[in-house]
Structure 1
């Protein structure tokens, strides 16, 4: 079984890392994480160690460094403020999109990245940023599938609809009857 080695971007407190650690049957390992918020980094370090997380701006990440991380997957939850229903909805015109866009521009030059998992708010699915993301992913050989999911869909009493994208390079998804990219909506 292939080991999925993950670079966790926009790591926050380590939500993806927790999810990976809870998957005992999966062969997934978070190799490195990046987060700009100092307090989030301190919490992450307490939970997962000091050698996993880097406190730095993702805009400083280069293609060469991404390749040197020796990862084949990126999990990320980019800033959601540009897409929230109650926010200003600046979308791609919000500077908080710059780091996400930077990562997407690195992907065509990083053959080692084979998988992506992206999480964001309900509202991202109708954004220009999403359109840009899908265009870059598809032109880079990624097949994508998208979901709108809420914890209530899994029996958790928390109604918080979220956007998820799974992407895999050069191989279609077979577990869903929809041709990528598709939004599989659930009840709100």
Structure 2
């Protein structure tokens, strides 16, 4: 059984896929207490709730020993994403100057110390900008990994009911086989009880909206948004979008809020979790905003399952 360490583990979407595919996840590391509690309670895996800048590899070895086969990591994407209007203009400053961007280098530091058979680092597509990509390769080469692949995967190709293009940097060439059928919003939300009624589904309650905003929401057609906010380069990004029932949902971000296709309300946290492929038994802790944020920052479990399956195949055939 291959053993896994999860850095910047979040609520556990990345780990969940590996667990479902038969891997043993030994430890998650995350700085956020509510996130760490969510991870531990759902996955029954120990969590080190600590700033990774203060975590030495010897600390990790004391907890889980030396035999880590795979390190997975999801360092913050904010320094790199075009959705961040305060992103550094200079591409390399995003990695070497931005304090949050430098967390990526701490993931590489720990990978270099532990020397796993495989590492997989998840991030946004803008990590592919040429100079950034080359310097990340250089950093990974410095810790002993000559072969580095920037695997671009689309979550919707693996059963996630929302668009999501992400890059998985690894010493493995990850090419999991896509499934054929895309899952629509209507299919993803089917079978849930009315959240306005008392029900036994976790995280399935309606978040109140001010009456003024409700009036505006009532006028939205499918695909229309209530809010446009500025990303990097003054790019306009929609939010509070009324979902089209027969299509995939847009990319789910931590800040994303979606309007139900037929009802004048926000999706519940449970409905939003379904758009990312989380099973209904997975319970999110904290307040509404913390719960939505955990979902939007996760690796969708259907995608992480596909990656785990492909990782197993590649390691077995090595």
TM-score normalised by the chain length of structure 1: 0.76
Cα deviation, 1:128-185, whole Å, max 9, x if unaligned, reads: 55433211212333222222221222353311111112225xxxx5979xxxxxxxxx
Structure 2 partner of 1:22: 20
Contact 2:16–2:43 (8 Å) recurs in 1:
no
User: C-alpha separation between the residues in 1 aligned to 2:174 and 2:10?
Assistant: 31
Structure 2 partner of 1:13: 11
User: C-alpha separation between the residues in 1 aligned to 2:14 and 2:160?
Assistant: 18
Structure 2 partner of 1:179: none
Contact 1:10–1:78 (8 Å) recurs in 2:
yes
Contact 1:122–1:163 (8 Å) recurs in 2:
yes
Contact 1:83–1:124 (8 Å) recurs in 2:
yes
Quick one: which of 28, 33, 38 aligns to 1:38? 33
In structure 2, the gaps of 5 or more residues are 89-93, 177-318
Contact 1:66–1:110 (8 Å) recurs in 2:
no
Quick one: which of 78, 82, 99 aligns to 1:95? 99
Structure having the higher strand fraction is: 1
1:1-188 equivalences in 2 (<5 Å):
3-24=1-22, 28-49=23-44, 52-68=46-62, 69=64, 70=66, 71-87=68-84, 88-90=86-88, 91-92=94-95, 93-111=97-115, 113-126=116-129, 129-142=132-145, 143-167=147-171
- Secondary structure of the 1:96 match is coil
- Secondary structure of the 1:83 match is coil
Greater RCO, CA 8 A, separation 6+:
2
Deviation, 1:56, is: 0.6
Cα pair distance change 1:127/1:63, threshold 3 Å? farther
User: C-alpha separation between the residues in 2 aligned to 1:96 and 1:130?
Assistant: 17
TM-score normalised by the chain length of structure 2: 0.47
Cα pair distance change 1:127/1:34, threshold 3 Å? farther
User: C-alpha separation between the residues in 1 aligned to 2:57 and 2:50?
Assistant: 16
The RMSD of aligned alpha carbons is 2.6
Contact 1:105–1:136 (8 Å) recurs in 2:
no
User: C-alpha separation between the residues in 2 aligned to 1:162 and 1:57?
Assistant: 24
Range with bigger deviation, 95-104 or 121-130: 121-130
Cα deviation, 1:50-102, whole Å, max 9, x if unaligned, reads: x6111111111213234443313210000000011121332123211232212
Cα pair distance change 1:155/1:48, threshold 3 Å? closer
- Secondary structure of the 1:95 match is coil
TM superposition outliers: structure 1 runs of 4+ over 6 Å: none
Deviation, 1:22, is: 1.8
- Secondary structure of the 1:123 match is helix
Contact 2:9–2:30 (8 Å) recurs in 1:
yes
User: C-alpha separation between the residues in 2 aligned to 1:39 and 1:63?
Assistant: 24
